[in-house]
């Protein structure tokens, strides 16, 4: 009796843990020939990159709007030339996409967090940031809140970027095409670190990035996050990030847009 009670309690606990995200249930390894591994009963996923190949995975589910958190610990040490991409994307030639890309660096030099938003196949909306911590020393939470009015990128709960629905100005907004979650670790030493000047040091391979604590909420009309916006405190935090950690904003790059910025840049 006691044994069977203990047994059903442990089954219940397993069920609760996996509801919070289990890599075996929620994701498929899609490439990398054994370099991507799901470990600890689905609680941890690792991607590896060596000279032969990178690796990647994707979600089984598709999301049409979502609130998605993932903890990542990036390639440590000399990660120059490597890119860890973590993004949502739909399919087809007029796809939508919401990107986090982490560009590695030499030991002690900062990673760049590169972000972009594609709507109906058009991106060119890059913003880049340094982080206020070492993203290789521990796991940190990278979140995407995507509702019909806005997309908010956050790091450890601090918003770093907001892309608002500006359909009223003729800017397409992702809202009809369901997206999957994708992640991959690959070699991009032709452009990633100092614009491609620093090459991948293959003597340091394999390079490894780790994932845990995946949480997702698919949309339901009643979910509060479906109409969530940045409150005053979070607007201040976003401004703090932009002031101190933003290193590139396409909306400030007048050389690139000599004839005027894209309409979504004019937030006045
Ligand atoms: C790498 O470090 C250099 C030197 O601090 C810096 O200029 C660069 O932005 C860093 N990040 C990347 C991805 O190149």
181 or 13, greater pLDDT? 181
Does residue 18 lie within any of the structural domains?
Answer: no
- What's the pTM value of the predicted model, to 2 decimals? 0.92
**Structural domains counted in the chain:** 1
Residue 218 confidence (pLDDT): 81
Ligand 1 atom 7, closest CA: 194
Does residue 175 lie within any of the structural domains?
Answer: yes
| 20 band by pLDDT with thresholds 50, 70 and 90 | low
| 200 band by pLDDT with thresholds 50, 70 and 90 | very high
Reference 89, options 196, 165, 184; nearest CA is 184
Distance of CA 128 from the midpoint of ligand 1 (Å): 12
What are the pocket residues of ligand 1 if the criterion is a CB atom closer than 6 Å to any ligand atom? Answer: 103, 105, 109-110, 112, 192-194
Please say whether the beta carbons of 72 and 53 come within 8 A. no
Does residue 144 lie within any of the structural domains?
Answer: yes
Does residue 5 lie within any of the structural domains?
Answer: no
Does residue 186 lie within any of the structural domains?
Answer: yes
Does residue 142 lie within any of the structural domains?
Answer: yes
Mean pLDDT along residues 189-212: 97
Average pLDDT, the chain: 93
Reference 72, options 153, 18, 152, 136; nearest CA is 136
Ligand 1 atom 8, closest CA: 194
pLDDT reading at 145 higher than 60? yes
Give the DSSP letter of residue 199. P
pLDDT > 70 fraction of the chain, expressed in percent and rounded: 92
Does residue 182 lie within any of the structural domains?
Answer: yes
Mean pLDDT along residues 84-98: 98
Does residue 177 lie within any of the structural domains?
Answer: yes
Nearest atom, ligand 1, residue 80 CA: 13
| 1 band by pLDDT with thresholds 50, 70 and 90 | very low
Distances (CA, A) of 23 to 54, 123, 145, 155: 19, 29, 20, 21
Count helices and strands in the chain by DSSP H and E runs: 3, 15
Distance of CA 105 from the midpoint of ligand 1 (Å): 6
CATH code assigned at 128: 2.60.120.200
Give the DSSP letter of residue 184. E
Return the structure tokens found at 88. Answer: 């949502």
Ligand 1 atom 13, closest CA: 193
| 266 band by pLDDT with thresholds 50, 70 and 90 | confident
Reference 169, options 60, 260, 232; nearest CA is 260
List, for residues 92-133, the tens digit of each pLDDT value. 999 999 999 999 999 999 999 999 999 999 999 999 999 999
Range of the domain at 254: 35-261
Q: Is 228 left (phi over 0), alpha (psi -120 to 50) or beta?
A: beta
Catalytic machinery residues? 97, 101
List, for residues 220-230, the tens digit of each pLDDT value. 778 999 999 99
Residue 11 confidence (pLDDT): 44
List, for residues 30-74, the tens digit of each pLDDT value. 999 999 999 999 999 999 999 999 999 999 999 999 999 999 999
């Amino acid at each position: 009796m006691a044994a069977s009670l203990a047994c059903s309690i442990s089954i219940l606990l397993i069920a609760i843990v996996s509801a919070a995200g289990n890599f075996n249930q929620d994701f498929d390894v899609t490439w990398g020939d054994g370099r991507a591994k799901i470990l600890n009963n689905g609680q941890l996923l690792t991607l590896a990159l060596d000279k032969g190949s990178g690796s990647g995975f994707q979600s089984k589910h598709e999301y049409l709007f979502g609130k998605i958190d993932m903890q990542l610990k990036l390639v440590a040490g000399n990660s120059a030339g490597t890119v860890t991409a973590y993004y949502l994307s739909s399919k087809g030639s007029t796809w939508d996409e919401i990107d986090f890309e982490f560009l590695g660096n030499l030991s002690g030099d900062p990673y760049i967090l590169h972000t972009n938003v594609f709507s109906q196949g058009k991106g060119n909306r890059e913003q880049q940031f340094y982080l206020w911590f070492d993203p290789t020393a521990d796991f940190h939470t990278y979140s995407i809140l995507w509702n019909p009015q806005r997309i908010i990128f956050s790091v450890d709960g601090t918003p770093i970027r907001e892309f608002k629905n500006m359909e009223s100005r003729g800017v397409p907004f992702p809202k009809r095409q369901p997206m999957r979650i994708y992640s991959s670790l690959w070699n991009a030493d032709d452009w990633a670190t100092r614009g491609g000047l620093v090459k991948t040091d293959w003597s340091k391979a394999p390079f490894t990035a780790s994932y845990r604590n995946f949480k997702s909420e698919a949309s339901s009309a009643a979910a509060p996050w479906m109409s969530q916006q940045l409150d005053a405190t979070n607007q201040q935090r976003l401004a703090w990030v932009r002031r101190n950690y933003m290193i590139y904003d396409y909306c400030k790059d007048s050389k690139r847009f000599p004839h005027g910025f894209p309409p979504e840049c004019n937030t006045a």
